[in-house]
Structure 1
Amino acid sequence: GPKRWPGGVAASDRAVALLVTAHPDDEIMFFLPAVRSLQAAGFDVSVLCLSNGGYDGLGKTREKEAVACCTEVMGLKRALVRVLDDEALQDGPASPWAAKDVGAAVQAWVAELEAGGKHRVEALVTFDDGGVSGHPNHIDTARGVRALPPRDGQTVWELLSAPVPVKFSGAIGAALALLLDSATTPAASAAPLKPGAVSLVGSVSPDMALALHRGMQAHRSQYVWFRSLYVAFSRYAFVAEMRRLA
């Protein structure tokens, strides 16, 4: 039968899973487990990054870093990666993003991806309304995606924000989570999860640790000491809880 991602959703031959992020490096800091599991299920993954992270004046550099991280580390096709620099969606905690502007940006990219019939966006993935790190741009991204009209054949998923002690429980916390999950959930069933249900994705492996390390190195302009600590301690590097919204 068709391969399925852990949410039970099968990918068609032209299936794309679109990850909507706010800033360059979100893709590697928070969504690596989701991307890896979607790829394993047969989805082509696209990343739409709504800003180039230009708050500190390094927007063009960060844009190049995001493309390198997505293509060279995460294995995405260059044509499926887009980093925006839109006046309505500028990086910064004091720059609110209207849901309609987020939605318009997502819909424009989906239309571009689907032009010509080669791709079909069958899954949308983004933050939850806690924004994982609590950054206002993350929260506005989630709200904008959530406000999009539903489409037939398209599922929508959000990355659940973990409480702070869990967030930094690293590989040990991730391994425990996977162990508990396998003890409490039946073997991957064919039935897709219903909206509201949560799927745990990811693995604790040297491959995941190496990919995270390489991905963070690709974002050289941001790779300061606290990000090195993040690489060592973050659970998001290994596992993520994805809740189906629609």
Structure 2
Amino acid sequence: MIDIRSADSRGKADFGWLQSRHSFSFASYYDPAHMGFSDLRVINDDRVLPRAGFDTHGHRDMEIISYVLAGAIRHRDSTGTEEVLRAGEFQLMSAGRGILHSEYNASDSEELRFLQIWIEPNQRGGTPGYQQKDFGMAPGLTLVASPDGADGSLQMRQDARLYQLMLAPGDTLEFSQQPGRCSYVHMVKGQLELADSQLGPGDAAKVSELAAYSLRNVGREPLQALLFDLA
């Protein structure tokens, strides 16, 4: 079964300095039909004005992934970590028993755009952790996060895997889904044909009860997406 979530149907938030689109219920946006998918709880598409950002705030018991699409994030947290996360880089912050952090647009002139992703962990408490990496732009599927840190991926506290999908125009990839698992595909850019469904930027698809499905770039530009393999 394939269930499409169109970009235009997502929740919206406008704070002036922040424009956000919510794939799942978040903050003041509530939709009982979109509370998450398996252990995937949040995908926010955030645009932040120059010099603006999120003041210090806390999280616990959540795997928080940030993926920068444009600009740069200046990150600081209570573990002593201070980093700049640039376009193309992924960050995984394991909140564990509790962490405080702030995120700001690192530029004085350019807009920051990033995806904020929350995955519920399979263990509570534990020591907070921070990981950051640029996985490049290799074609096909690149493993970004996994429960065991396989292939140099970021290690998260959940039986889930996050892949970066890159396809040149006309290229097709077959994804095999293990029995009892499901997947979620979130489009970043380009035009995707997923089985018999068409997806554009910001669109997403919940895929369940399929042993395999095809992913094809039907556009004229390189395609970029995230694919979550979930229990």
| TM-score, length basis structure 2 | 0.30
Relative to total residues, which structure has the larger helix share, 1 or 2?
Answer: 1
Structure with greater contact order relative to length (CA < 8 Å, sep ≥ 6): 1
